[in-house]
Structure 1
């Protein structure tokens, strides 16, 4: 389907998703949720996809939920509509988090509220030096509702997460890097190249191994260490079955 708010391109197994709202700084409204779900549906069924990156057009990655859309529901006490919107946002972020390929957030400007939740749903976060992140929801009397209160502590720890959420402050890229919220910071004009180079590195790895690797790491969030080790063992065995693994091991031995 044609998308009004998203542009997608593909190069050698790397799918680029660009949030491209010409009128606003990429708020995540119901239309964008629908379009992202459509793109994800295509990606989930395409075995040629090896890595996915998400960025924003212009000076913003994404500024979060579209407050103008939520305003009417709050004024009219349309709680069912608000609940539907929040639940669909949670499901969207979980769908991104559950993609069986590495996902890279390329934060080119503001990533606030739901925009930062979108970045946290990705496996890794790259940011331009001028990028700004944060969760300002508390200033509106709200809390992040698309997984921010759950994923943020997993990335930066409980205390730092509470500090970010309770103050609602904006955080520059260097500070975000120091606290582990961002994985890499680049010059503004080098962000795209840095993400592309990293994606190219991932594409070179055996795709079946990256899938099992991600699965094993995700298990560490919910499983006990004992269960996690069992899950790791299972993933390691499954990763060893394909002929590509045998071929790579044999190639390594030939070079030894």
Structure 2
């Protein structure tokens, strides 16, 4: 359910559960967190996070969410691992991003999305709290009022508005999504891991 291409400096992690809108199970989240940590140890310089099909991720698998996954610490473990990765992390969003899946994307350095993507995080409606680091990362990107619109107002944001707000950094045609992400990673991939990490530390 997770595709892992760990070839040298670039690691590509793909959510592969399109028949379930790439909804996330505990096993998938644990595999992602473990792989990101391994990429860091093994000197990867860039990670590309994407999905298969027309949805990036609908969030937690509903059955597992009801059984406790919605409030499990594994979400925070994954986003923390991504945030701590010393190289460049790019979320190439092949479609809609919803719920807890937003945490891993907020932790990335760059977010690209296809024109049809939508963004929402319905924790208020579902009666859950967001994962601990998500509100601060969201507010840092789009401001506190807009973060509350999403988290408390249940707002569903389309790609153009997400770009205007700063939630995503570029809208890219579906067929050019991977190519654009790779082009943005090219300079980092050509650098040494130490150089990439040093530059990343300079950016708050």
Alignment of 1:96-245 (within 5 A): 96-145=82-131, 147-218=133-204
| Native 8 Å contact 2:55 2:94 kept in 1 | yes
Report how far residue 25 of structure 1 moved.
1.4
**Equivalences, count:** 204
Report how far residue 213 of structure 1 moved.
2.1
* Match among 6, 10, 17 for residue 2 of structure 2: 6
Q: Which deviates further from its counterpart, 158-167 or 9-18?
A: 9-18
* The structure with more radius of gyration: 1
* Alignment deviations for residues 52-78 of structure 1 (CA, whole Å, 9 cap, x no partner): 1100111111111222212244xxxxx
Report how far residue 156 of structure 1 moved.
1.0
* Match among 52, 55, 58 for residue 60 of structure 1: 55
Q: Which deviates further from its counterpart, 195-204 or 104-113?
A: 195-204
Where structure 1 has 5 or more consecutive residues not aligned to the other structure, the ranges are 74-80, 219-256
Change in 2 beyond 3 A, CA 1:118/1:82: closer
Q: Which residue of structure 2 lines up, in the alignment, with residue 30 of structure 1? A: 26
Report how far residue 82 of structure 1 moved.
6.3
Higher helix share: 1
SS of 1:161's partner is helix
Q: Which deviates further from its counterpart, 97-106 or 154-163?
A: 154-163
Higher RCO (C-alpha under 8 Å, 6+ residues apart): 2
SS of 1:93's partner is helix
Where structure 2 has 5 or more consecutive residues not aligned to the other structure, the ranges are none
Change in 2 beyond 3 A, CA 1:104/1:145: same
- Root-mean-square deviation (CA, aligned residues, Å) is 1.9
Q: Distance in 1 between matches of 2:17 and 2:132?
A: 20
Q: Distance in 2 between matches of 1:108 and 1:148?
A: 21
TM-score, scaled to structure 2: 0.91
* Alignment deviations for residues 144-174 of structure 1 (CA, whole Å, 9 cap, x no partner): 2253212101111112211222221221111
| Native 8 Å contact 1:132 1:173 kept in 2 | yes
| Native 8 Å contact 1:14 1:200 kept in 2 | no
